[in-house]
């Protein structure tokens, strides 16, 4: 077993089988999803050791120091505070004229965690395709959507460990090494009988893909990574996946909180 203290670790990841063209994915019951998987061992590189730290424009992801005023991420009132913090963070990092936060998700891998709480996502993916991000923007912006969608926008996620990350860290793919043809398609249902209009983008394996992680992430650090860019001349996607490389033989279960944002320029 490789541990997070190593400069490079090997992890077995369930990529989407290249023969998949479209499948149903259940967000709340992922074990029932119709995807076929292609188990591959990948090398995951310690991004803290890169001479010039990765940036959104250079890799599609970056690590940022960020202290939050939230003390309980299960409290809806406090997560509204976090919504404002994340809007301000993305505006500061990108210079966007407007940012919307449209999704917030608590994940907890503790054995005692409620079955309603999602576990780490172990399938490499980008959350939605561009049409789905446009749809989410329309749902949030209403009549103002046409104005904001007429210019460039980028979908950007922010991910935080709620305690030091000792298991299932988030690995990110260098956006420069991802090809559009590496993606497959899923029709997203929350659970059986609850379809959504959104299309997901699971990733098929390509040996050119380069994967990174930030070991020993602390609660005052966040990963910021791109999920879509309407300007196809920019880096467009940084797929992500939880990888099974613990920090020690008996790691503390991972708890994390993520948000999805759309920045308009």
Chain segment 232-261, per-residue pLDDT in tens: 999 999 999 999 998 888 999 999 999 999
User: What is the distance between the alpha carbons of residues 244 and 4, in angstroms, rounded to a whole number?
Assistant: 10
Distances (CA, A) of 223 to 93, 106, 111, 164: 12, 15, 25, 14
Is the residue at 200 inside a domain? yes
Residue 188 CB partners (closer than 8 Å, separation 6+): 25, 27, 128, 195, 196, 198, 199, 200
pLDDT for position 131: 98
Q: 182 is written with which tokens?
A: 């590496």
Q: Model confidence at 28, in pLDDT bands (50, 70, 90)?
A: low
Query: What domain count does the chain have?
Result: 1
Is the residue at 3 inside a domain? no
Is the residue at 2 inside a domain? no
Tell me the residue range of the domain where 186 lies: 8-264
Contact 133, 262 (CB under 8 A): yes
Is the residue at 44 inside a domain? yes
* Average pLDDT of the segment spanning 1-6: 54
pLDDT for position 32: 63
pLDDT for position 52: 86
Higher pLDDT, 19 or 25: 19
pLDDT for position 30: 58
pLDDT for position 189: 86
Q: Model confidence at 4, in pLDDT bands (50, 70, 90)?
A: low
DSSP string, 56-107: TTTTSEEEEE---S-S-TT-HHHHHHHHHHHHHHHHHHH--SEEEEEEEEEE
Is the residue at 1 inside a domain? no
User: Is 14's pLDDT higher than 90?
Assistant: yes
- Edge-first strand order for the sheet with 194-202 is 8-16, 37-46, 211-213, 170-173, 240-242, 125-126, 194-202, 186-191, 23-26
Chain segment 151-161, per-residue pLDDT in tens: 999 999 999 99
Q: Quick count: other Cβ atoms within 10 Å of Cβ 68?
A: 18
Contact 91, 263 (CB under 8 A): yes
pLDDT for position 22: 83
Contact 163, 255 (CB under 8 A): yes
Place of tokens 């939050």: 68
pLDDT for position 146: 97
Residue 22 CB partners (closer than 8 Å, separation 6+): 184, 185, 186, 187
Q: Which of 204, 199, 198 is nearest to 184 (CA)?
A: 204
Chain segment 147-183, per-residue pLDDT in tens: 999 999 999 999 999 999 999 999 999 999 999 999 9
User: What is the distance between the alpha carbons of residues 27 and 116, in angstroms, rounded to a whole number?
Assistant: 11
Distances (CA, A) of 161 to 99, 120, 261: 22, 11, 18
Model confidence, pTM: 0.94
Is the residue at 111 inside a domain? yes
């Amino acid at each position: 077993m490789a541990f997070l203290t190593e400069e490079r670790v090997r992890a077995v990841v369930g990529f989407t089988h290249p023969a998949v063209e479209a499948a149903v994915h259940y967000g709340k019951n992922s074990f029932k999803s119709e995807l076929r998987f292609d188990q591959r061992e990948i090398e995951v590189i310690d991004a803290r050791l890169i001479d010039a730290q990765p940036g959104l424009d250079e890799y599609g992801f970056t690590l940022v120091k960020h202290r939050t005023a939230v003390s309980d991420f299960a409290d809806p009132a406090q997560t509204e505070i976090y919504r404002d913090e994340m809007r301000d963070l993305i505006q500061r990092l990108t210079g966007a004229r407007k940012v919307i936060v449209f999704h917030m998700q608590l994940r907890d891998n503790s054995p005692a965690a409620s079955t309603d709480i999602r576990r780490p996502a172990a399938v490499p993916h980008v959350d939605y395709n561009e049409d789905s991000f446009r749809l989410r923007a329309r749902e949030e912006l209403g009549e103002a959507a046409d104005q904001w969608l007429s210019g460039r926008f980028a979908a950007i996620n922010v991910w935080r460990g709620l305690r030091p990350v000792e298991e299932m860290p988030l690995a990110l793919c260098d956006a420069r090494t991802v090809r559009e043809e590496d993606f497959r398609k899923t029709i997203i249902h929350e659970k059986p009988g609850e379809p959504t209009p959104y299309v997901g983008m699971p990733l098929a394996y390509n040996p050119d893909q380069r994967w990174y992680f930030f070991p020993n992430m602390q609660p005052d650090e966040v990963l910021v990574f791109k999920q879509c860019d309407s300007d196809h001349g920019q880096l467009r996607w940084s797929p992500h996946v939880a990888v099974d490389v613990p920090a020690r033989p008996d790691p503390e279960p991972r708890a994390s909180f993520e948000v999805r944002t759309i920045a308009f320029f």
